[in-house]
Structure 1
Amino acid sequence: MRESNDEPAEETSKAPHRRWCCCGFLRRRVRKDEETPDRNNDSREVTQEISSPAESVNAYAMELSTPPSDHSDEDYVPPAIDSDENKSNLVGLSDQINRITAMLKDWKLSQLLFVSIFGMTGIGKTTLAKEIFEHPLISDRFHHRVWVDLGPNYRPENVLHDIVAQLDADVDRMHHNVIKYLSKFMRSNTCLVVLDGVWDTEVFNYLLRFLKDMTKNRSAVLVTTTLEQVAVFSQSYRVHQMRLLNEEDSWSLLRHKVFDEMPCPPELVKPGKRIAENCEGLPLTIVTVADLLSKLEKSPECWKKIAEQEEHSVFMDAYEKMSEVLFPNYDYLPRHLKEPFLYSGVFPMKKSIPYSKIVNLWISEGFLEQNPLKTPENVAAECLKDLISRSVVMVHQQSTIHFYLFPIDVLKLVELRYLSLTYNGNLPSSISKLSNLECLIVGRPLAITSVENPLCLPVEIWDMKKLKHLQFTGSNQVPDPGEGSFLPNLVTLSDISARSCNTGVFRSIPNLKKLGIRIELSPDEATDREPLSCFQHISHLEKLESLKCVVVNPIFNTTGIAVCPPPPLSVFPSGLKKLSLCGLGYPWEEMSKIALLPNLEVLKLRSYAFRGPKWEVEDNRFLRLEFILIEDSDLVRWTAGNGSFPFLECLNIKHCYKLQAMPRKFSFDLGKIQVVDCTPLVVNWAKKLTKIDVRVDASWDDKTLKK
């Protein structure tokens, strides 16, 4: 994976994002089913605690997949927002209306134009489509306009009959030659056909096949859908993806819905903006909350209380009201997607979910269909991509996802295969009873982490054969395995003590791909080379792809030389792609062993990982490197031979106060340079490289840096 900056995205986003919707509608749906007389006793068990998470989700999915007794086969799912109520719903839509209207008006080609409005439920797709449908420019452009409200159970033949009825009311709806009639009519007229709320790709493909054959006269089809697969179907398509409202537009919509044309009292503006912000830009939430607010006392005390309480009855009632609109998003998911989606409820509100965490949980709990041709990680990635394409999961930021519509009733299901805890002490040997555990994350408060008190794992850890990920905070010792002990599935091991990096341990984790080593030296260990000998056994990890080694408190003498020079670097596995070193104090000459790694793409050197005034890179070195970071170094002169760094894309130089000379040229692929608190010579060198994004940051005011 290529890196665009010096650090990957944090595992947990700190942005205050609130989950909504599903908590209310699932509770309401379960209660409704329980009140139905002919439901059996098993339906009530969905609200009871079940020992197995997988069994719980399966039971819950079965419960939700059974429609209540009053469910009709011809259910119509109404638009989430009534766009006919007033024009306040158009907040934030003006530029989108103009864009799509111009797109339809200016279409000159003979073939059918297909425009899709794509986005999650409640974001305003139908409102936008109606404004376009009724726009004067559109009525002038098309001879005939047809609007068809679809739903999950709408039949394709009914759509064709509805189109005919709107084009010519005198035509019998049961006319047997509907297709022939439509073909003749639409070839001689320009028509706009709006299909609002497409839920099924097969139904849509059927309709579009006929419409494309019928239409050769600059006509257009406008579709609203939550399905990305529908949105990008046609070769002559134009996709418009709806966006959430910003804070200003959210407040404007809320204000209009509550006060109509009347001004908002000044004392309500501040709490009102906070209430609008809690709606996270989704128009459906804003409109529903506004409807409830309009019926309450309009006082600063009342509104402030609502704004400050995340679970205030106004929000809870709003989620309940939204349930009828939101439930079909779950109800019409394919069965293989329902259980992974339901499991999102294990995460608390106001949290974004790291990609790696949700994938590991899905795999651990066995919610994914097995495919002998694909790894579980690939199956999980496809599952997540499918949920995103159906607009029930929204990408929140790089490396994280954010679930809307999650079932609050599943919040208690984290157990058995995934365990994350903060614990000040050694884990008990009974941890091995969790024989199905795949992910174990153990953190300790930073205030009590010390060199003298390392975390020691029990020897029984080697009995947990299904472990895939072991992640710790602080220096942690892994016991030597007994004869024949090994962890065949372990792929991640982070923050282990260097003293645990021996031949016995490494040979017992043959499939490890990611390793993090943490070295903490006490003053008494200043001359002890043993902790720094951890690299001598790395070659046993033949499948290793990522290695990070940090000396937390490196000890150097007054001349800047390590009190105990590290032993020579050993041979690294040839498959290594990412290497991060910190505080080791190696001489730059040792870098020659790293330069020959055939697959190395990312190199990070921090806190005097290498020391000395000169780094000379020979010809044809670092042949796959894409990203390099040098931070806190005493390097003075850096040179590179011909053919070195041919694929380097990003270069970060930070806090290198002595650096005077840099390589004269890099490859044409170099696209980004970041220089932080370095000498003016480095800054000027970077700025001379044309067609490259150069960012310079300095903690002092130097005129040289402003040129």
Structure 2
Amino acid sequence: MLRDMVFSEEVCPVELEEIGKNIATSCGGLPLAIAVIGGVLRRSAKTLESWEQVAENLNAIVTWENEEHCFKILRMSYSWLPIRLKPCFLYMSRFREDETIEVSKLIKFWVAEGFLKPINGKILEDVAREYLDHLIDRNLIIVRKRGVSGKAKYCGVHDLVRDLSLKEARKENFTLVAKLSSNSAVFLGWSLNKDVELLWRFLTSLPLNMFKNIFVESIVHLVQCRYLSVPNLGRLLVEKKLRMLPVLWNLQTISINEFLTTITLPSMFWTMTQLRYINIISNIVLPEPPPKSQFYCTLENLQTLSFVRDFRCSEEIYKRIPNVKKLKIRYFSQDVEEGPYYSLSNLVHLCRLESLHLHGMMVSIKDISFPHSLRKLKIKRTNIWWSEMVAIGSLPNLEILVIGFQGVQGLEWNVTKGEFVRLKKLCVSDVDLKHWKTEEGSFPSLEELELWRLLLQELPDPLNFADIPKLRLINLIVRGKSIKSWAKQIKEEREGLGYGSIQIE
């Protein structure tokens, strides 16, 4: 087990075999200990001297019994971590036992805490992904679930690894900010004296989940706050906090999880150059950018913006958010088809955009020019027709397509060979589609297919899907038997072709 973890398909050098066996024996048959030490050896130099150092440390703790013995081995794995990875590992002590952690949120926390530094021009989020992969390779973080791209989507830590993180964090006084953040409601409920105010100035991460019973004005003291999460407040309190945003010059993340009809951002939003993520489930109204004659700021760090109501992608707007990667927009106005006003064709200028969520009956394909960088597209309640889907099918990097409630209009969808060449996941639900046809060779990269609440009368040839090499999952929520029978045929055809079996849910 240890050899396979360290060398994978490579051959273990002869000079390392004996010491490798000694290290494996010293792990006492504990799988977690072997996994962690395997991570240490995999990242260490494959030399006798390096392995002797590992063995020497292990030999000093072989007398301990099972759990305590394993814990000592874990501590050694921490001491061998590069300095840059240690804060990220210690941060895992903030999560509950057995908690499933959303990777995208974890990365936001790491960025907000200032653990990361740019490397070779890479953005901080890419650096965070590299750090996460290093900790996964060392078996200090467990992957709970991967996305269709293969990247970790949810993660966690073993109970013993979490205990190690807690003990080392306490030893290094790493938990100071975490304790202050967890008691944030107590501090905000006081009339701030000078000592408390001083503590506030050094807080960087703040989940404000008890705001209803506190003084809103105290937020102005959070001049160093970089992560602000504000759930369940009510409209008046949310709007008060948004008016205070210009005070929080260092703010990177705004997360508001209570649905309100509309939230209007203050005009000074355009001056907050540190912003990286705006995730508000209500409808955001963006203020008009101030004239260039007054001042001009570009929000170069902004990567996520959702949900924007009646998004006006004018030249003045897209030039101020040039690096946005994730955009969610809803349209309600009746004049959205008047192109110059909303300028959806200007989406093509967002050349780093990877994820787009479009919602609104006034949106049609003739108004939109998609950037080639797009990897994920979700559409609901649009005026796009199945006959126009070739424009989406030709996107060269599209990997995920989600067609939700009335996302596409019409009854017939014909997919030809050469469309959706990189699509890995297709979800279609709650549309009026009746006739679905595909040519042989369509969806060549498909891995997951979800069909929910459809009344299809005509389905593609099962062989066209059975012949897709990477197809592994068909998820169905349907009333009729015909789609279930069709999925079963695909499974049987694949087995006949010698492909691996697929899962049908």
Give TM-score, length-normalised by structure 2.
0.66
Q: From the superposition, tell whether residues 566 and 396 of structure 1 become closer, same or farther in structure 2 (CA, over 3 Å).
A: closer
CA deviation profile, 1:181-234 (whole Å, cap 9, x unmatched): xxxxxxxxxxxxxxxx99995798317589xxxxxxxxxx99969xxxxxxxxx
**Whole-angstrom distance in 2 between the partners of 1:676 and 1:644:** 23
What residue is the counterpart of 2:357 in the other structure? 548
**Ranges in structure 2 where 5+ consecutive residues have no aligned partner:** 2-13, 32-36, 60-64, 147-152, 181-202, 206-224, 495-499
**Whole-angstrom distance in 1 between the partners of 2:109 and 2:322:** 23
Query: Which of 600, 603, 624 is equivalent to 2:398?
Result: 600
Letter in 2 for 1:367: F
Q: Offset at 1:125? A: 3.8
What residue is the counterpart of 1:671 in the other structure? 472
**Whole-angstrom distance in 2 between the partners of 1:578 and 1:565:** 18
Letter in 1 for 2:307: D
What residue is the counterpart of 2:309 in the other structure? 497
Structure 1 contact 468–491 (Cα < 8 Å) conserved = yes
Structure 2 contact 306–327 (Cα < 8 Å) conserved = yes
What residue is the counterpart of 1:364 in the other structure? 112
**Whole-angstrom distance in 1 between the partners of 2:456 and 2:440:** 25
Q: From the superposition, tell whether residues 199 and 620 of structure 1 become closer, same or farther in structure 2 (CA, over 3 Å).
A: closer
What residue is the counterpart of 1:479 in the other structure? 287
Query: Which of 196, 199, 206 is equivalent to 2:49?
Result: 206
**Whole-angstrom distance in 2 between the partners of 1:368 and 1:490:** 17
Letter in 2 for 1:401: C
Structure 2 contact 112–204 (Cα < 8 Å) conserved = no
Letter in 2 for 1:583: R
Establish whether residue 641 from structure 1 lines up as the match of residue 455 from structure 2.
Answer: no
**Correspondence list, 1:295-694, <5 A:** 330=78, 333-347=81-95, 351-372=99-120, 374-398=122-146, 399-403=153-157, 404=162, 405-406=165-166, 407=169, 409-410=175-176, 411=178, 412=180, 413-415=203-205, 416-422=225-231, 423-424=233-234, 425-426=238-239, 427-444=241-258, 446=259, 449-450=260-261, 454-482=262-290, 483=292, 484-519=296-331, 521=332, 529=336, 535-551=344-360, 566=364, 568-641=366-439, 643-663=441-461, 665-666=464-465, 667-669=467-469, 670-689=471-490, 690-691=493-494, 693=501
Structure 1 contact 549–581 (Cα < 8 Å) conserved = yes
Q: From the superposition, tell whether residues 500 and 205 of structure 1 become closer, same or farther in structure 2 (CA, over 3 Å).
A: farther
Letter in 2 for 1:206: E
Structure 2 contact 30–66 (Cα < 8 Å) conserved = no
Structure 2 contact 312–344 (Cα < 8 Å) conserved = no
**Whole-angstrom distance in 2 between the partners of 1:463 and 1:603:** 34
Structure 1 contact 116–223 (Cα < 8 Å) conserved = no
Aligned residues: 397
CA deviation profile, 1:95-137 (whole Å, cap 9, x unmatched): x9xxxxxxxxxxxx99946448789xxxx943659xxxxxxxx
**Whole-angstrom distance in 1 between the partners of 2:144 and 2:487:** 33
Give the 3-state SS of the residue equivalent to 1:475 in structure 2: strand
Query: Which of 270, 284, 289 is equivalent to 2:67?
Result: 284
Q: Offset at 1:499? A: 4.0
Q: Offset at 1:494? A: 1.9
**Whole-angstrom distance in 1 between the partners of 2:410 and 2:105:** 40
CA deviation profile, 1:324-363 (whole Å, cap 9, x unmatched): 8976665554432333333345546664432222222223
CA deviation profile, 1:137-167 (whole Å, cap 9, x unmatched): xxxxxxxxxxxxxxx9xxxxxxxxxxxxxxx
Structure 2 contact 356–376 (Cα < 8 Å) conserved = yes
**Whole-angstrom distance in 2 between the partners of 1:339 and 1:565:** 46
**Whole-angstrom distance in 1 between the partners of 2:154 and 2:310:** 31
Q: Offset at 1:383? A: 2.4
Give the 3-state SS of the residue equivalent to 1:574 in structure 2: coil
**Whole-angstrom distance in 2 between the partners of 1:606 and 1:596:** 20
Structure 1 contact 675–695 (Cα < 8 Å) conserved = no
Q: Offset at 1:599? A: 1.6
Structure 2 contact 450–474 (Cα < 8 Å) conserved = yes
Q: From the superposition, tell whether residues 360 and 529 of structure 1 become closer, same or farther in structure 2 (CA, over 3 Å).
A: closer
Q: Offset at 1:458? A: 0.9
Q: Offset at 1:393? A: 3.6
Letter in 2 for 1:518: R
Letter in 2 for 1:595: G
Give the 3-state SS of the residue equivalent to 1:579 in structure 2: strand
**Whole-angstrom distance in 2 between the partners of 1:497 and 1:118:** 59
Q: Offset at 1:392? A: 4.2
Q: Offset at 1:629? A: 1.2
**Whole-angstrom distance in 2 between the partners of 1:352 and 1:696:** 25
CA RMSD of aligned residues (A): 4.2
**Correspondence list, 1:199-278, <5 A:** 201=44, 205-206=48-49
Letter in 1 for 2:285: Q
Q: From the superposition, tell whether residues 126 and 200 of structure 1 become closer, same or farther in structure 2 (CA, over 3 Å).
A: farther
Give the 3-state SS of the residue equivalent to 2:230 in structure 1: strand
Structure with the bigger RCO (C-alpha within 8 Å, sep 6+) is 1
Q: From the superposition, tell whether residues 531 and 495 of structure 1 become closer, same or farther in structure 2 (CA, over 3 Å).
A: farther
Give the 3-state SS of the residue equivalent to 1:537 in structure 2: helix
Q: From the superposition, tell whether residues 385 and 567 of structure 1 become closer, same or farther in structure 2 (CA, over 3 Å).
A: closer
**Whole-angstrom distance in 2 between the partners of 1:612 and 1:550:** 17
**Whole-angstrom distance in 2 between the partners of 1:517 and 1:433:** 27
Give the 3-state SS of the residue equivalent to 1:548 in structure 2: strand
What residue is the counterpart of 1:19 in the other structure? none
**Whole-angstrom distance in 2 between the partners of 1:668 and 1:607:** 27
Q: Offset at 1:579? A: 0.8
Letter in 1 for 2:473: K
**Whole-angstrom distance in 2 between the partners of 1:203 and 1:673:** 43
Structure 2 contact 101–156 (Cα < 8 Å) conserved = yes
Q: Offset at 1:462? A: 1.0
**Whole-angstrom distance in 2 between the partners of 1:110 and 1:621:** 53
Q: From the superposition, tell whether residues 633 and 663 of structure 1 become closer, same or farther in structure 2 (CA, over 3 Å).
A: farther
Structure 1 contact 672–693 (Cα < 8 Å) conserved = no
**Whole-angstrom distance in 2 between the partners of 1:506 and 1:568:** 19
Structure 1 contact 686–694 (Cα < 8 Å) conserved = no
**Whole-angstrom distance in 2 between the partners of 1:683 and 1:117:** 52
Structure 1 contact 346–414 (Cα < 8 Å) conserved = no
What residue is the counterpart of 1:93 in the other structure? none
CA deviation profile, 1:253-302 (whole Å, cap 9, x unmatched): xxxxxxxxxxxxxxxxxxxxxxxxxxxxx9738x9xxxxxxxxxxxxxxx
Q: Offset at 1:580? A: 0.9
Q: Offset at 1:648? A: 2.3
Q: Offset at 1:475? A: 1.2
**Ranges in structure 1 where 5+ consecutive residues have no aligned partner:** 1-95, 97-108, 130-151, 153-196, 211-220, 226-281, 288-321, 555-563, 698-707
Q: From the superposition, tell whether residues 640 and 400 of structure 1 become closer, same or farther in structure 2 (CA, over 3 Å).
A: closer
